[in-house]
């Protein structure tokens, strides 16, 4: 009997907030094995084609017999992160899908930035925005977030990606007459 196989082991899926995310998981030669989905916190979401978690937005869709696609309707920022489609082989086989959720109202100068560090920092930190003012500098709130959330190296990379200059803090000057 053949071992089950995934098409790939890791992919990114990018969706806009409030749409439906389809996280694909085609499995060849499943045989006697079973498929489960877990989220970034190792919460069991589904077993076979049944939803386990009490979240009606989540379901398994099987347009073809080999598909075990996780659907998340009305996607929220809090859904962003890594999801695992797993097969109960020994050792367990895992396909990881990185779900990236974009705000449909953001401009090109604002970008959601999650994945560098907030999985390690916990579920309370869901997103940050890098915003620029009309002179191309990071606005103070965005700059503060970058420095507080990310290391200097990662913050620098995010600035470089967006083509923005670091915020310069100007000290008040006293002029004497």
Residue ranges of the chain that CATH labels 2.60.40.10: 5-102
The residue to which tokens 């620029």 are assigned = 132
On the question of pLDDT at 29 being above 50, the answer is yes
- The average confidence (pLDDT) of the chain is 75
Q: What angle do CA 163, 156, 121 make, to 5 degrees?
A: 125
Q: Could you say which architecture CATH assigns to the domain 5-102?
A: Sandwich (2.60)
pLDDT of 141-153, one tens digit each? 444 444 444 556 6
The segment with the largest mean pLDDT, out of 58-67, 105-114, 162-171, is: 58-67
* DSSP letter assigned to residue 147: H
What's the mean pLDDT in 7-20?
96
Give the number of other Cβ atoms within 10 Å of residue 25's Cβ. 23
Give the number of other Cβ atoms within 10 Å of residue 167's Cβ. 18
pLDDT: is 104 or 163 the higher one?
104
Q: Are strands 5-6 and 111-112 parallel, antiparallel or unpaired?
A: unpaired
Give residue 103's pLDDT. 80
φ and ψ of 142, to 5 deg: -65, -40
pLDDT: is 45 or 155 the higher one?
45
- What is residue 106's three-state secondary structure? coil
Give residue 21's pLDDT. 98
Cα torsion 107, 108, 113, 115: sign: positive
pLDDT of 51-95, one tens digit each? 999 999 999 999 999 999 999 999 999 999 999 999 999 999 999
């Amino acid at each position: 009997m053949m071992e089950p196989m995934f098409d790939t082991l890791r992919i990114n899926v990018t969706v806009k907030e409030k749409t439906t995310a389809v996280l694909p998981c085609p499995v060849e030669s499943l045989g006697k094995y079973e498929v489960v989905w877990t989220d970034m916190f190792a919460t069991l979401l589904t077993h076979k084609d049944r939803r386990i978690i009490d979240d009606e937005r989540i379901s398994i869709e099987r347009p073809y017999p080999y598909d075990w696609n996780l659907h998340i309707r009305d996607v929220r920022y809090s859904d962003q992160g890594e999801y695992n489609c797993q097969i109960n082989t020994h050792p367990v086989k895992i396909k990881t899908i990185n779900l990236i959720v974009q705000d449909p109202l953001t401009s090109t100068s604002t970008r959601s930035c999650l994945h560098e560090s907030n999985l390690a920092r916990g579920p309370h930190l869901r997103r940050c925005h890098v915003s620029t003012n009309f002179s191309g500098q990071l606005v103070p709130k965005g700059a503060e977030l970058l420095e507080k959330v990310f290391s200097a190296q990662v913050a620098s990379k995010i600035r470089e990606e967006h083509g923005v200059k670091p915020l310069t803090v100007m000290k008040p000057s006293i002029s004497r007459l």
